[in-house]
Structure 1
Amino acid sequence: MDDSEDTNVAAAMGFSGFGKKARTFDLEAMFEQTRRTAVERSKKALEERERGEEHATSKGADLKAGASSSGPRRGEASSSDSEDGSDDELIGPPAPSHISEDDMIGPPAPSSLKDSDDEEEEDDDGDDDNPVKRIPDSHEITLQHGSKTVSALGLDPSGARLVTGGFDYDVRFWDFAGMDASLQAFRSLQPCECHQIKSLQYSNTGDVILVVASNSQAKVLDRDGFPVMECVKGDQYIVDMANTKGHTAMLNGGCWHPKIKEEFLTCSNDGTVRIWDVNNEKKHKNVFKPRSAQGKRVIPTCCTYSRDGKLIAAGCQDGTIQIWDRNMNVHTKFHCRQAHVPGTDTSCVTFSYSGVTLATRGGDDTLKTWDIRNFKKPLHTASGLSNIFPVSDCCFSPDDKLLVTGTSVKKGGGSGKLIFFSMVDFQKAYEIQVTDASVVRCLWHPKLNQIMVGTGNGLVKVYYDPVKSQRGAKLCVVKTKRKERQAETLTQDYIITPHALPMFREPRQRSTRKQLEKDRLDPLKSHKPEPPVAGPGRGGRVGTHGGTLSSFIVKNIALDKTDDSNPREAILRHAKEAEENPYWVAPAYSKTQPNAVFAEVDSEEDEPDNEPEWKKRKI
């Protein structure tokens, strides 16, 4: 009955296979089978390893005894192994690297593939033995920063953008993916106005840039060069620099924390090393004060974090190198008093990728490496490396097998070089002649495997290898130069409408010159100034005589030549006209106005002569 009902429902609803049960899997049985197979493979691998060790031991004993016929042969062992391996089917993850090819299931790999793999392994072994072969210097490109020294270089962690700064106060942004073969920067700005740029570095996330110039306030910019924060300036009249909120003298260097993206470090001529937080620009987080053997203040000329961010190292002007624990700012954790010659500026302090070795570039023309576990004396020292810039630096190769630095030269004194030292014996392993100027900055990016070099003549050299390097300069050299856009001029198009009505038809222009002449005669189009007013002024404008109100008054009032000697006669001159044609006052008093009485004086003879002179009326 159930089967018939299912059939009827399936026929009515149009389903096929209605009522069939789904396929089920026994997962526990499958997991148990996989576990057994893995255990068997592990046992088999262990037996193979023991068999190989016994084979190597027996072979060594036979060689010593002079007998080479004892011990199992390779063919027999491989055949037995292949017979054992052909019994079980391997299920699960791929076989470990120590299992031989005979234990693997499937068709054998092509011989050509095996040969190529062997060759690559041999090449890798050769490169491991000789780190010089890993230097990417087969090709180079040149970026024109300016005409003055390039004193700062910075690459973001991904290697997509390069930022350069120099003594010309400019900071330029370069985008390798957006540049073509013309190699032009996409942005240039002066974030610190008239201060030389000393250090530029991207944060560990690559979203902001630390700008350290020769002023006392470090700045943080975003990827596009817009300001994010600016450190506060301290009070220069306070003696104890730990009580000020910021630096009070010129900055010498700075860097980001390798683990904390909001924290960075700066050092200054005020004798302090300060830790800052991007989110708090009003005050520093912590202050470190380097001291000499006598307890006096010492100026730090460079500073850096260790690779794990737990240590802070500073090279000082008295030749010492002082290292603090990041969380303890009073006493140094490591201290070397005679690292470099006193009075010379240590221009760079940097940690290796392993975090154990420290390299310092001194102003005494030396390059030294130190083991922080034994900080009393240097591991290696290289001398004769001229250094005339306070920002000359050094860097480690990504595999910590080479140490790179540049040399300085005076103008016309030869070419600056980029020198590579081997970390094994600290001998000069390789050198590159860069240009006819000093090599100031060098940067070896671990992801791109490219070397950036800043020189004293405003150039930035990028060294790369098409095979060993990745992205970076390889992206822009393959692009062709963009054609220059012609200057676009706006012209007024003339529309010819021959069938339009006369009232809408525009007059056809015969010549441009004639139209320009007509426009010149038009006072509105040519902006012709208004001519001076002739005669008396009108419309609020003053007449021709003079251009000011004072000149108008002088002309019409002060210099009026009609001067009557007798003011009474001048007034009575208009009496007859006022009496005959009253206009102003007389009509209002026509009924009440009395007759005017004036003293009549006919002549001077009627006046009495016996009056004194002072009683006579003055006219």
Structure 2
Amino acid sequence: MDPNKVGEDRTSGDGDMASVMGFSGFGKKARTFDLDAIFEQTRRTAIERSQRALEERHMEEEGESSKSTKASVPTQKVKSAAASSRKQESSSDSGSDSDADSDSDSELIGPPLPGQYTAQGEEELVRRSGPASSTAHSDDDDNDDDEGQEDEDDNNPVKKIPDTHEITLQHGTKTVSALGLDPSGARLVTGGYDYDVRFWDFAGMDQALQAFRSLQPCECHQIKTLQYSVTGDVILVVSGNAQAKVLDRDGFNVMECVKGDQYIVDMANTKGHTAMLNSGCWHPKIKEEFMTCSNDGTVRTWDLQSEKKHKSVFKPRSFQGKKVIPTCCSYSRDGKLVAAGCQDGTIQIWDRNLSVHTKFHCKQAHIPGSETSCLSFSYDGMTLASRGGDDTLKLWDIRNFRKPVNVATGLTNYFSMTDCCFSPDDKLIVTGTSVKKEEGSGKLVFFDRASFQRVYEIEVTDASVVRCLWHPKLNQIMVGTGNGLAKVYYDPVKSHRGAKLCVVKSQRKEKQAETLTQDYIITPHALPMFREARQRSTRKQLEKDRLDPKKSHKPEPPVSGPGRGGRVASHGGTLSSFIVKNIALDKTDDSNPRDAILRHAKDASENPYWVAPAYTHTQPEPVFAEESEEDEEAEKEPEWKKRKI
């Protein structure tokens, strides 16, 4: 046998086996990597980059004039050194596989160069490039101008007010006295003097702007405050009664505070408020805690889990120690302080954990007798804004609480719940003004926090502006007015979601009721089996249904006999049927009671049973006077002749 043929058979057999088993190349050699060479190359690259960074740093220190002359030499040296090192590495690694060398050259090994050095390198390239650099410099100048304008807009807080667009929500016809927006900005809730609370969903509304729910949680009491909790799952409802309520997001009752005993003198010894509520708010950090203030002269904190009793009581007092009615209350941003504005014009602040003595007490914050309508803490927690019933807006520093930092006057206020709030960037303060009917327009006024100048104002409507709310996430301003409107101001560029979601949705058309009518085909000459039944009038059908006992719901006839199917006969063996049969239906005439009694006189005299048998032996025989003839004649005389005795 020829050995060449045997070798050919073997090679063909190996190829067939490889194709059958799904792989090829039994005899190929695996790739090998020279790890020492790779590590050495990495080390050299890192050294070169560090040298380059040091040289560029030295050039920056020497100045731009010397930088342009000296920069070329070290960089060329570095480049030549890098090239020589690469040649050495390629010569040293000639024994390794070519694929491994190509992979290692393509990858960047070592830490990347900082951004400032790459930018400087690009500037040098632009300088060297000649005339093309002028266009690059002009583009850079334009970008610098744009950035300068943006910086000016950032520094000017008035440019950030989102008032280019507005939508109007029709709550009712009376004053919108309460506004609440959940932390995510998805739902708005409004309440008013008409006792209604309406829920608005921005994502679910269309251009018709209709509320998806309306209810009266406190019956015939005006709504004074509505606020979502920190998590947005429940709503605090403060109305004109003595009991605050907590509703869930859909308006169902979660909790109702207990009412206190009004006959107890010390309000700290009763479990709840005993007079009308004025305001309330949630704790900014603890989601189960909220606070209310009332005309009973107390500020109480409550826990959502225990509705039977308040958590703690704060009692505002004047300097003479007399009881003072709090008209508004608020937590600080960190939740450590509790502030209350009182009817005597004072502002009193307590530590949340120490409810006896005040931490800060301003004696003449506003005019005594004017109702302080709102207290609002800034986002940094150092400043307090107070909206007074004396037509002022004052700014206070918590660290120096004796006198206000700034005062703005001439802001008419007719409502005990007129708001003031800070902008999301803490640079502006917003409040509303009140007007009498047909005497002007209510305005939303913006003050700069630093200078306290009136920097901007918005004419809302021809009624008072009562509530205002600037949501930090949406960057939209919600306003409640005295004529039943709730307005939302927004900017398509600066605002997010909220009112932007519903204005782009077209108004849904009402679905028309569609009914299918089948035409009646008359075929008089058809066979009986294919002939359709003729339509009959509804009157005949109703008459026929009337005769059907099941369709007409005919009542069952009375049971005769002993009874069947669980039903008792009309004169069965029950007590009620016996009474009806023998007593109630007795037809004897008892109209003359004397005759009814004398019916039994004969039987009683012949067969005495009760009284007469007891006296038969002891009772004497009765002796009656006999009538004389004179008496008979006297009876015959007429009445006018009879002698009066």
Same-fold status (TM-score > 0.5): yes
Amino acid across the alignment from 1:354: D
SS of match in other structure, 1:523 = helix
Pair 30,436 (structure 1): closer, same or farther in 2 beyond 3 Å: farther
**1:305 alignment partner in structure 2:** 331
Amino acid across the alignment from 2:312: N
> How many angstroms apart in 2 are the aligned matches of 1:81 and 1:287?
77
| Contact preservation (8 Å) 2:42, 2:110 | no
Q: Deviations over 1:481-527 (max 9, x none)?
A: 100122467x89789898999689762216xxx32355257635896
**2:290 alignment partner in structure 1:** 264
> How many angstroms apart in 2 are the aligned matches of 1:156 and 1:40?
58
Q: Deviations over 1:445-500 (max 9, x none)?
A: 111111110001110111111111111111111111100122467x8978989899
> How many angstroms apart in 1 are the aligned matches of 2:70 and 2:276?
75
SS of match in other structure, 1:126 = helix
> How many angstroms apart in 2 are the aligned matches of 1:156 and 1:121?
35
**1:101 alignment partner in structure 2:** 119
> How many angstroms apart in 1 are the aligned matches of 2:485 and 2:427?
27
> Given the alignment, which residue of 497, 504, 511 partners 1:478?
504
SS of match in other structure, 1:72 = helix
Amino acid across the alignment from 1:396: F
Q: Greater shift after overlay, 517-526 or 152-161? A: 517-526
> How many angstroms apart in 1 are the aligned matches of 2:204 and 2:70?
60
> Given the alignment, which residue of 398, 411, 415 partners 1:385?
411
Pair 248,106 (structure 1): closer, same or farther in 2 beyond 3 Å: farther
| Contact preservation (8 Å) 1:301, 1:345 | yes
> How many angstroms apart in 2 are the aligned matches of 1:227 and 1:24?
76
Q: Deviations over 1:211-233 (max 9, x none)?
A: 21122222222222222222222
> Shift of the alpha carbon at 1:311?
1.3
**2:311 alignment partner in structure 1:** 285
**2:273 alignment partner in structure 1:** 247
| Contact preservation (8 Å) 1:402, 1:422 | yes
> Shift of the alpha carbon at 1:95?
4.0
> Shift of the alpha carbon at 1:284?
2.1
Amino acid across the alignment from 1:280: S
2:457 corresponds to 1:464: no
2:65 corresponds to 1:72: yes
> Given the alignment, which residue of 121, 124, 127 partners 2:150?
124
> Given the alignment, which residue of 511, 520, 538 partners 1:515?
538
> Given the alignment, which residue of 238, 258, 269 partners 1:212?
238
SS of match in other structure, 2:501 = helix
> Given the alignment, which residue of 467, 474, 479 partners 1:453?
479
> Given the alignment, which residue of 286, 296, 299 partners 2:322?
296
2:249 corresponds to 1:223: yes
Q: Deviations over 1:383-408 (max 9, x none)?
A: 11111111101111111111111011
Q: How does 1:185-196 map to 2 (within 5 A)?
A: 185-196=211-222
Q: How does 1:20-99 map to 2 (within 5 A)?
A: 51=61, 72=65, 92=111, 95=114
Q: How does 1:585-596 map to 2 (within 5 A)?
A: none
SS of match in other structure, 1:474 = helix
2:386 corresponds to 1:360: yes
Pair 16,73 (structure 1): closer, same or farther in 2 beyond 3 Å: same
| Contact preservation (8 Å) 1:344, 1:364 | yes
2:181 corresponds to 1:155: yes
**TM score, norm. by length of structure 1:** 0.72
2:192 corresponds to 1:166: yes
> Shift of the alpha carbon at 1:201?
1.3
Q: Deviations over 1:331-381 (max 9, x none)?
A: 111110100001111000001111111100001111000111111110111
> How many angstroms apart in 2 are the aligned matches of 1:487 and 1:21?
78
> How many angstroms apart in 2 are the aligned matches of 1:186 and 1:419?
31
> How many angstroms apart in 2 are the aligned matches of 1:415 and 1:527?
66
| Contact preservation (8 Å) 2:53, 2:117 | no
Unaligned stretches of 5+ residues in structure 2: 1-13, 83-107, 127-132, 556-568, 572-579, 591-645
2:223 corresponds to 1:197: yes
Q: Greater shift after overlay, 418-427 or 277-286? A: 277-286
> Shift of the alpha carbon at 1:101?
2.6
**2:425 alignment partner in structure 1:** 399
SS of match in other structure, 2:158 = helix
Amino acid across the alignment from 2:352: R
SS of match in other structure, 1:123 = helix
**1:577 alignment partner in structure 2:** none
> How many angstroms apart in 1 are the aligned matches of 2:501 and 2:191?
23
> How many angstroms apart in 2 are the aligned matches of 1:43 and 1:131?
44
SS of match in other structure, 1:461 = strand
> How many angstroms apart in 1 are the aligned matches of 2:403 and 2:412?
22
> How many angstroms apart in 1 are the aligned matches of 2:52 and 2:319?
66
Q: How does 1:569-580 map to 2 (within 5 A)?
A: none
> How many angstroms apart in 2 are the aligned matches of 1:38 and 1:390?
70
Amino acid across the alignment from 1:101: A
Pair 106,43 (structure 1): closer, same or farther in 2 beyond 3 Å: closer
> How many angstroms apart in 2 are the aligned matches of 1:135 and 1:319?
32
SS of match in other structure, 1:199 = strand
> How many angstroms apart in 1 are the aligned matches of 2:478 and 2:48?
54
Q: How many residues align?
A: 515
| Contact preservation (8 Å) 1:90, 1:105 | no
| Contact preservation (8 Å) 1:394, 1:403 | yes
Pair 84,558 (structure 1): closer, same or farther in 2 beyond 3 Å: farther
> How many angstroms apart in 2 are the aligned matches of 1:41 and 1:220?
68
| Contact preservation (8 Å) 1:82, 1:102 | no
SS of match in other structure, 1:252 = strand
> How many angstroms apart in 2 are the aligned matches of 1:94 and 1:327?
55
> Shift of the alpha carbon at 1:75?
6.8
> How many angstroms apart in 2 are the aligned matches of 1:430 and 1:480?
33
> How many angstroms apart in 2 are the aligned matches of 1:348 and 1:286?
22
SS of match in other structure, 1:136 = coil
> How many angstroms apart in 2 are the aligned matches of 1:31 and 1:357?
58
Pair 436,236 (structure 1): closer, same or farther in 2 beyond 3 Å: same
> Shift of the alpha carbon at 1:107?
10
SS of match in other structure, 2:259 = coil
> How many angstroms apart in 1 are the aligned matches of 2:538 and 2:145?
81
Q: Deviations over 1:251-299 (max 9, x none)?
A: 1111112122222221111211122222222222222111110111111
Amino acid across the alignment from 1:318: D
Amino acid across the alignment from 1:72: S
**TM score, norm. by length of structure 2:** 0.69
Q: Greater shift after overlay, 21-30 or 450-459? A: 21-30
> Given the alignment, which residue of 298, 301, 325 partners 1:275?
301
> Given the alignment, which residue of 355, 372, 384 partners 1:329?
355
> Given the alignment, which residue of 391, 409, 412 partners 2:435?
409
> How many angstroms apart in 1 are the aligned matches of 2:298 and 2:395?
25
| Contact preservation (8 Å) 1:209, 1:220 | yes
> How many angstroms apart in 2 are the aligned matches of 1:415 and 1:107?
63
**1:64 alignment partner in structure 2:** none
Pair 36,476 (structure 1): closer, same or farther in 2 beyond 3 Å: farther
> Given the alignment, which residue of 319, 336, 342 partners 2:368?
342
> How many angstroms apart in 2 are the aligned matches of 1:240 and 1:144?
44
Unaligned stretches of 5+ residues in structure 1: 1-6, 56-70, 531-538, 542-547, 560-619
Pair 524,218 (structure 1): closer, same or farther in 2 beyond 3 Å: farther
Q: Greater shift after overlay, 495-504 or 203-212? A: 495-504
> How many angstroms apart in 2 are the aligned matches of 1:418 and 1:125?
27
Pair 342,92 (structure 1): closer, same or farther in 2 beyond 3 Å: farther
